[in-house]
A and B are shown apart, each in its own frame.
Chain A
Amino acid sequence: MSSNLSSKPNHPSSGTRGKVEIQGVSRHYPGAEKPAMLDVNLTIEPGEFVVIVGPSGCGKSTLLSMVAGLAKPDKGQVFLDGKLIKSPGPDRAMVFQEHGLFPWLTVTQNVEFGLKMAGVPPDQRREASRKALDLVHLSEHTEKFIHQLSGGMKQRVAIARCLVMDPAVLLMDEPFAALDAQTRTMLHEQMQELYVEMKKTVIFVTHSVAEAVRLADRIIVMHANPGRVRRDFRLNLPHPRDFDASDVAYYMKTVRKEIDDEVNAHAGASRRVSEGVGSYEI
Chain B
Amino acid sequence: MKSEKLKRGLLVALVWVLIVAFWEGSYRIIEWKAYVFPAPSHILDSLLNLFGMKTWFGDPVWLVDAAGHSQAFQRDPQWPLHGQDLQVTGSIWNSQLLEAVGISLFRLLIGFSISLVLGLFIGLAMFRFKFIDALLGPVFLGLQTLPSVCWVPLAVLALGINETGILFVTVMGSFFSIAITLRDGLRLTPTIYRSAGLVFGAHGIKFYTQVMLPAGLPALASSLRSGFSFAWRSLMGGELIFVLKQEGVGHLLAVGREFGDVGQVVGVMFIMVLIGMAADRFIFAPLEKKVQSRFGLGG
Q: Measuring CB to CB, which residues of chain A are less than 8 angstroms from any residue of chain B?
A: 65, 68-70, 87-90, 92-94, 96, 98, 100-105, 113-114, 116-118, 145-147, 161, 165
B214 touches A102 (CB 8 A): yes
B 183-206 contacts with A by CB, 8 A = 192-193, 195-196, 198-203, 206
User: How far is B295's CA from A17's CA once the two chains are assembled, in angstroms?
Assistant: 37
User: How far is B206's CA from A102's CA once the two chains are assembled, in angstroms?
Assistant: 15
Interface status of B142 (Cβ within 8 A of chain A):
no
A100 touches B195 (CB 8 A): yes
A20 to chain B, nearest CB (A): 15
B295 touches A93 (CB 8 A): no
Given contacts A88-B199, A165-B200, contact A98 B192 (CB under 8 A): yes
User: How far is B199's CA from A69's CA once the two chains are assembled, in angstroms?
Assistant: 8
> What residues on B are CB-neighbors of A70 within 8 Å?
195, 198-199
User: How far is B201's CA from A69's CA once the two chains are assembled, in angstroms?
Assistant: 11
User: How far is B296's CA from A147's CA once the two chains are assembled, in angstroms?
Assistant: 5
* Residue of B192, B196, B201, B296 ringed by the most chain A CB atoms within 10 A: B196
Indicate which residue in A96, A116, A117 contacts B192 across the interface (CB closer than 8 Å). A96
Given contacts A146-B296, A147-B294, contact A96 B195 (CB under 8 A): yes
B200 touches A114 (CB 8 A): yes
21 contacts between A and B (CB under 8 A): A70-B198, A88-B199, A88-B201, A90-B201, A96-B192, A100-B192, A101-B196, A102-B193, A102-B196, A102-B215, A103-B294, A103-B295, A103-B296, A104-B295, A113-B210, A114-B200, A117-B200, A117-B203, A147-B296, A161-B200, A165-B200
User: How far is B214's CA from A65's CA once the two chains are assembled, in angstroms?
Assistant: 24
> What residues on B are CB-neighbors of A114 within 8 Å?
200-201
User: How far is B203's CA from A69's CA once the two chains are assembled, in angstroms?
Assistant: 13
B51 to chain A, nearest CB (A): 44
Indicate which residue in B200, B203, B215, B294 contacts A145 across the interface (CB closer than 8 Å). B294
Lowest 9 CB-CB distances: which A-B pairs, in order? A147-B296, A117-B201, A114-B200, A100-B196, A104-B214, A100-B192, A103-B295, A88-B198, A88-B199
User: How far is B128's CA from A122's CA once the two chains are assembled, in angstroms?
Assistant: 31
User: How far is B211's CA from A90's CA once the two chains are assembled, in angstroms?
Assistant: 17
> What residues on A are CB-neighbors of B199 within 8 Å?
68-70, 88, 92-94
Indicate which residue in B206, B214, B215 contacts A117 across the interface (CB closer than 8 Å). B206
Q: Measuring CB to CB, which residues of chain B are less than 8 angstroms from any residue of chain A?
A: 192-193, 195-196, 198-203, 206, 210-211, 214-215, 217, 293-296
Q: Count the A-B residue pairs with Cβ separation under 8 angstroms: how many? A: 65
> What residues on B are CB-neighbors of A113 within 8 Å?
200, 202, 210
* Residue of A70, A87, A93, A103 ringed by the most chain B CB atoms within 10 A: A103
* Residue of A69, A100, A146, A161 ringed by the most chain B CB atoms within 10 A: A100
B196 touches A117 (CB 8 A): no
Chain A residue nearest to B200 in the complex (CB) = A114
A233 to chain B, nearest CB (A): 29
User: How far is B203's CA from A88's CA once the two chains are assembled, in angstroms?
Assistant: 10
> What residues on A are CB-neighbors of B210 within 8 Å?
113, 116-117
User: How far is B201's CA from A104's CA once the two chains are assembled, in angstroms?
Assistant: 17
User: How far is B211's CA from A226's CA once the two chains are assembled, in angstroms?
Assistant: 35
> What residues on B are CB-neighbors of A87 within 8 Å?
198
A147 touches B195 (CB 8 A): no
> What residues on A are CB-neighbors of B296 within 8 Å?
103, 145-147
A118 touches B195 (CB 8 A): no
B237 to chain A, nearest CB (A): 37
Chain A residue nearest to B195 in the complex (CB) = A70
> What residues on B are CB-neighbors of A103 within 8 Å?
294-296
Given contacts A102-B214, A104-B217, contact A147 B200 (CB under 8 A): no
Given contacts A102-B214, A104-B214, contact A118 B201 (CB under 8 A): yes
Given pairs A88-B199, A100-B195, 7 additional interface contacts (CB within 8 A): A68-B199, A69-B198, A70-B199, A88-B201, A89-B201, A93-B200, A116-B210
A168 to chain B, nearest CB (A): 14
Chain A residue nearest to B203 in the complex (CB) = A117
A102 to chain B, nearest CB (A): 7
Given contacts A96-B192, A96-B195, contact A104 B294 (CB under 8 A): yes
> What residues on A are CB-neighbors of B203 within 8 Å?
117
Given contacts A117-B206, A146-B296, A147-B294, contact A96 B200 (CB under 8 A): no
> What residues on B are CB-neighbors of A102 within 8 Å?
193, 196, 211, 214-215
User: How far is B201's CA from A94's CA once the two chains are assembled, in angstroms?
Assistant: 12
> What residues on A are CB-neighbors of B206 within 8 Å?
117
B278 to chain A, nearest CB (A): 28
> What residues on B are CB-neighbors of A118 within 8 Å?
201
